[in-house]
Amino acid sequence: MTTMNLPLVSTCSAEGCSYNHDHDCHAAAITITGATSACGTYVDEAAKAGVDATGQVGACHRSDCVHNSALECGAESVEIGAGADVADCLTYSAAG
Ligand code: SF4
């Protein structure tokens, strides 16, 4: 997989994150972590940050997700928003 076809963050409702610009993620690449699919890239700093492009999923530790292969996300895009944490991957789906 090249960075050209990493899954896009289609929308993110975690408005408190520095990378969040009007529900668009502007981190170059996010990492999904842990048992709750938390966005490990979330950061609450005063200044807005990131790149001039929509964020992508660089890595995902949620190996039990149907979209996960070798700790990479194979979904076309993901939605991030409040779940168990302030920002979780809402596209997570438990593998059968
Ligand atoms: S859809 Fe699944 S594999 Fe992709 S980022 Fe979310 S939890 Fe990880």
Closest atom of ligand 1 to 60 CA is 8
What 3-state class would DSSP assign to 3? helix
Q: What is the pLDDT of residues 68-88, one digit of tens each?
A: 999 999 999 999 999 999 999
Cα 67 to averaged position of ligand 1 atoms, centre (Å): 6
pLDDT over 80 (residue 30):
yes
The whole-model pTM stands at 0.93
The pairing of beta strand 88-89 with beta strand 77-81? antiparallel
Structure tokens at 39: 């966005």
Q: Which residue has the tokens 């700790």?
A: 71
Q: What is the pLDDT of residues 44-53, one digit of tens each?
A: 999 999 999 9
Identify the CA nearest to 38 among candidates 17, 7, 69: 17
Residue of 45, 32, 44, 35 lying closest to 80 (CA atoms): 32
Could you tell me which residues come within 8 angstroms of residue 78 by beta carbon, excluding any fewer than 6 positions away?
7, 8, 9, 10, 57, 89, 90, 91
- Rounded CA-CA distance 6/4 in Å is 6
| CA 35 to ligand 1 center in whole angstroms | 12
Residue identifier of the C-alpha nearest atom 8 of ligand 1: 60
